[in-house]
Structure 1
Amino acid sequence: MKSALAATVTTAGQHAHKYEAVPSFAHAENHRENRSVLDVDEETLGILDRHLKTFQTQNRRRVYIMGFGVVGTLLFLYWAIVGWSQPTQSCDSVKDGYECRPEISRFWGQYSPYFAVESEIPTAVPDQCQITFAQILSRHGARDPTAGKTAQYNATIERIHASVESYSGDYAFIKDYNYSLGADQLTVFGQQEMINSGEKFYKTYKSLSRRNTPFIRSSGQDRVVESAQNWTQGFHAARIDDLSESNDGYPYNMVIISEATGSNNTLDHGLCTAFESGPDTGDAAQATWISIFAPPITERLNKNLPGANLTATETINLMDLCPYNTVASPLGTLSPFCNLFTLSEWHSYDYLQTLGKYYGYGWGNALGPTQGVGFTNELIARLTNTPVDDHTSTNRTLDGEAATFPLGGRLYADFSHDNDMTAIFAALGLYNSTRPLLNTTREDTSETAGYSAAWSVPFAARAYVEKMTCAGEREELVRVLVNDRVVPLETCGGDVLGRCGLGAFVESLGFARGGGKWDQCFV
């Protein structure tokens, strides 16, 4: 596939850079099965890998396992070799959102695969209303652990192998488990999540998508850029299916904003010195909760893995290996690590991740919402068709040029990270009715007013900000959906359908329009 990136950013002003990127559609070298059902040499794996890439290049659509033909056979062999040999459920259903065992996978915090959150407010466009503007803010798709985490997980597995005397029952698989996860890269499963997301966005806003191509920006990390490219692939394929017309300017232009130290980037925090060097309140809140819920789990693990003498931290490492190994499978096949823990323990794990986000980047951190002010002010500019008014993290060189920050558009798509989205949600006043989370008692979403890490920033998370015109209304209305859940807009007096007038919505963003607490960033 051609790169979906046509670099439009040149070196100028506040750390703007020119980039070229080519998406990698399979990371087979990082995601081989620990116990492959076939013993195949590297050359054969390479051939299958190239055929998979060729198929994706030519088809530009969702990848299915085909039951016939040469391509189908090659795909079947490829996934048989690099996929999971465990006789567990395959999660290859678009309808089900590519998730396995939702009673578990929806409680993995930010490591949950994307899923549609149930909405108390109807998600359909209200009668006699028409969408006039749609902005998606998306997290990248499922990825490998970060480099630091992958080293930590590998060390935990190596120590278990070196010290455990015997394995039995649900733990028997660990004896032959070879840690093979990569670091930081988008997985095949994550690529598919983003293709699905692009297709869904097109279909959701079809009346606009038929006539308008989104203006696309991405933060500069590889997995985010590749996610944006995969998203455009899905959007483009849906347009072809709908209009039978492929000449729509694909691959689309994309602005890539550098994540280099000191870069002005509203899609990646890093400029606010006091925030970056301050105490990690998220880690502190998590440490308290770990000391409460993890000891019984650690005791059970050590009983079943005699000689391991696992710590609480290593217990969490083993829990992390459930989602990470699952999304390393091309079809999201549930990892056997998942079966080592109960449903209640997964709920506690989910709350652990929720505490980390809330106190690390949300309202629980004094400077958390400030990290989302720049993007919020850009959103105001797009909603009101006026120049950006901001003195925080915005790149004023890019935002001052029509080519790199056009106004008056109908569709916009931005791609970022979970931490940055958490800060942006706080700056937008979303989840404002969530009171400070307890770190000694688990709370569910009914007690947190709909806030959790899994509900807000799973892999491939997406927030939609809509404007609509409605019969009988004198001004446009604004509505926000996070992972298909309409978020009540309480700070601007939202109606029963979750909408505020544009003027009231902008007025409610006084925190961002005033710069948040940016003046405290450099003291």
Structure 2
Amino acid sequence: MLRTFGAVWTALSSFLSLAPLPKFSPAHELAHDTFKLQQSWGVYSPYHAAEHYIPPPADCEISQVNILHRHGARLPTEHQTKDIHSGVKKLQSAEYYTDSRLDFLETFEYSLGENLLVPLGAIQSAESGKAAFQRYSSLITEDDIPFVRASGMSRVVETAKNWSAGFAAASDYTYTPKLSVIFDEAGLDPLQDDLCPNASGSHKEMSQWLAVYGPPITARLNSWAPGANLVDEDIHGLMMLCAFHTVASVPYEYNEGSPLPFSPFCSLFKPSEFEAFEYSSDLDKYYSTGYGARVGRVQGVGYVNELLARLTGSPVSDHTSTNSTLDSDPATFPLNHTIYADFTHDSIVVAAFATIGLFPTHKLSTTHPKAQRDWLASEIIPFSGRMVVEKLTCDRHDASDSYIRILVNEVLQPLAFCGAKKHGPWKGLCQFDAFLDSQEYARNDGNGDWEECF
């Protein structure tokens, strides 16, 4: 529990610039599993580990760790705020309410800010830093502490600093990582996704799915609020508000793993409707920087080529989104560290998944989602979600060899694309050279896809 860190709270507070927290009526009692609810908000779900960490085989030692980390829980963006305001104002304009679940709106005042990290984001990012120290402390020395970088948006920078504060506190302040590189998001930056002007968004696909699941919800809420005249587009905003309003209400004293204090907006929707809402995030990421976008996964090539450089101890070879000035300077792109931590946005993490070959998915239907699917945004890229690439040195058959394994939110990935075993103690381990060979798409700068960006 983070509050046992003591002095870390002083450090965390100095990293945050938060808008006043919202005031709202206590949430209605939810009739379904509250933990399941908070895991059905897609990319707005708080971090949760789907499995327990599996240590490497007994004959292996971890020699290098690379962490690609999404920022923590945040407030809505400007565009999301407009969508949210529309639905709230319409509901509050109703002549009267026919269902008591809307009564809180009579005194409700929307007071969320925009874009900024919230306390829950700070808590979970610091917990991530704590876990990293506890797991990989054997790799740390006074001369070799984690090398930390972040894309330049404030919530990403603050997440990186919170992670570093959690790492430092867990080491009893023996090791204090510094944020060494902050990328200017207006320039070349492998940790952000605004460098591909021809990239297509996912609005069409999300709209097609909203036309399937939205109308029954719209009709029900309009029957509860005569005169509100909600349209389907308002429903997505109100369901987002359930998530944003909830994560913004979490105090610093929150213990990670406890149920969240749910917003009253959450009780306006059924569990099955939140499952439909979750699928909107799946479609969003799949058709923006995932496998479903023509120039989606190429936006992860820059980071992956930097990853390969670190793993091989070689200069970066990339002609996409990387900053050659920074990557050619040992002060800003060293190759002699054992732990690297990069902080970014969800879209880049998704692009990196697709570049590497994780969660391979042929196509996502915009009208008939599969109940069982690997591409599940709430599992692969929640707030504070992370990918960890471990390089291992293993003794096998009287010889030493190097291997790679990848974990996403603690789940060991199968890595079938480079010959990893499916079962047993060596499950998920790829022989090092086989992994490098599997990354031909990145090593070839996206096989021409980068040029399609312009």
TM-score by length of 2: 0.89
Match of 1:285 in 2: 205
Structure 2 residue matching 1:159: 3-state secondary structure: helix
Aligned to 2:195, the other structure's residue is in SS state coil
Match of 2:330 in 1: 402
1:236 aligned to 155, 159, 168, which one? 168
Is 2:44 the counterpart of 1:111?
yes
Q: Is 1:214 equivalent to 2:150 in the alignment?
A: no
What letter matches 1:459 in structure 2?
A: F
CA distance in 1, matches of 2:235, 2:195: 34
Partner in structure 1 of residue 437 of structure 2 = 507
* Equivalent residues in 2 for 1:37-186, closer than 5 Å: 85-86=26-27, 101-118=34-51, 123-166=54-97, 168-186=99-117
Q: Does the residue aligned with 2:418 lie in a helix, a strand or coil?
A: coil
* 2:383 paired with 1:459: yes
Which residue of 2 is the match for residue 187 of structure 1? 118
* RCO higher in structure (CA 8 A, sep ≥6): 2
User: For the structure 1 residues 209 and 423, does the alpha-carbon distance in structure 2 shift closer, same or farther, using more than 3 Å as the test?
Assistant: same
The DSSP-based 3-state class of the residue aligned with 1:255 is strand
Question: Do 2:295 and 2:450's aligned partners in 1 also have CA atoms closer than 8 Å?
Answer: no
Paired residue secondary structure (1:104)? helix
Q: CA separation in 2, counterparts of 1:426 and 1:400?
A: 26
Structure 2: 5+ residue runs without aligned partners?
A: 1-6, 255-259
C-alpha displacement of 1:128: 1.9
Asked whether the equivalents of residues 355 and 439 of structure 1 are also in contact (C-alpha less than 8 Å), the reply is yes
Contact kept in structure 2, 1:167 and 1:175, CA below 8 Å: no
The aligned residue for residue 441 of structure 1 is 368
Q: Per the alignment, do residues 356 and 307 of structure 1 end up closer, same or farther by CA in structure 2, a change over 3 Å counting?
A: same
- Tell me by how many angstroms 1:23 deviates: 4.6
Is the CA contact 2:28–2:264 (under 8 Å) kept in the aligned structure 1? no
- 1:303 deviates by 1.1
Letter of the structure 1 residue corresponding to residue 338 of structure 2: R
Alignment partner of 2:412 out of 486, 504, 514: 486
* CA spacing shift, 1:23–1:88, aligned 2, 3 Å: farther
- Measure the CA separation in 1 of the matches of 2:141 and 2:323: 31
2:346 maps to 1:418 = yes
Q: Report the secondary structure of 2:387's partner residue.
A: strand
CA distance in 2, matches of 1:505, 1:310: 51
Residue 460 (structure 1) shift:
0.4
Q: Confirm or deny that 1:304 pairs with 2:224.
A: yes
* 1:3-28 residue CA offsets vs partner (Å, 9 max, x unmatched): x99xxxxxxxxxxxxxxx9954362x
Contact 1:466-1:480 at 8 Å conserved across structures: yes
Superposed displacement of residue 118, structure 1? 3.1
Post-superposition Cα deviations, 1:454-497, rounded to whole Å, max 9, x if no partner, equal 11111000110001112206421100001111111121111231
Deviation beyond 6 Å, 4+ runs, structure 1: none
Assess if the C-alpha contact under 8 Å between 1:133 and 1:468 holds in 2: yes
- Matched letter for residue 306 of structure 1: P
Aligned residue number for residue 225 of structure 1: 157
TM-score by length of 1: 0.78
Q: What is the CA distance between 1:251 and its match in structure 2? A: 5.9
Counterpart residue type for residue 433 of structure 2? G
CA contact (8 A) 1:274 1:521 kept: yes
Q: Give ranges in structure 1 of 5+ residues lacking alignment.
A: 6-20, 36-84, 90-99, 241-245
| Alignment match, 1:69 | none
SS at match of 1:273: coil
1:267 is displaced (CA, Å) by 0.1
CA separation of 1:215/1:325 partners in 2, compared to 1, >3 Å: closer, same or farther?
same
Task: Give the CA deviation at 1:424.
Answer: 1.0
- Name the CA shift for 1:104/1:515 in 2 (closer, same or farther; >3 Å): same
Equivalent in the alignment of 1:265? 189
CA distance in 2, matches of 1:201, 1:239: 10
Indicate how the Cα distance of structure 1 residues 223 and 522 shifts in structure 2: closer, same or farther if over 3 A, else same: closer
